[in-house]
Amino acid sequence: MHRTRRGRRASTHLEFALTFPVYVLVLFGIVDGGWLYYQQASLDGATRTACRGGTTVDPGTNSVNIQNVYDYVIDQVPLELDEMGVDSTNLSVTATTTGAPPTRTLICTTQQPFSALTRFVLPDMTLTSVTAMRMEYQR
pLDDT tens-digit map of 84-139: 999 999 999 999 999 988 899 999 999 999 999 988 889 999 999 999 999 998 87
d(C-alpha 71, C-alpha 21), whole Å: 49
Give the residue-averaged pLDDT of 10-37. 92
| Distance linking the first and last C-alpha atoms of the chain | 92
**Lowest mean pLDDT segment, chosen from 3-7, 25-29, 52-56, 94-98:** 3-7
Selection from 40, 41, 74 nearest residue 57 by Cα: 74
Question: Residue 52, exposed/middle/buried by CB under 10 A (0-12, 13-18, 19+)?
Answer: middle
Is residue 1's pLDDT more than 50?
no
Give the distance, in angstroms, between the CA of residue 38 and the centroid of all CA atoms in the same chain.
Answer: 7
H-type alpha helices, the chain: 2-55, 66-84
Q: Is the pLDDT of residue 17 over 60?
A: yes
Domain residue ranges in the chain: 2-134
**33-48 tens-digit pLDDT:** 999 999 999 999 999 9
pLDDT of residue 137: 85
Cα 58 to Cα 51, 83, 116, distances in angstroms:
13, 25, 40
What mean pLDDT is predicted for residues 68-81? 96
pTM of the model: 0.85
Region 61-74: mean pLDDT is 92
What confidence score (pLDDT) does residue 62 get?
A: 82
- Amino acid letter at 53? G
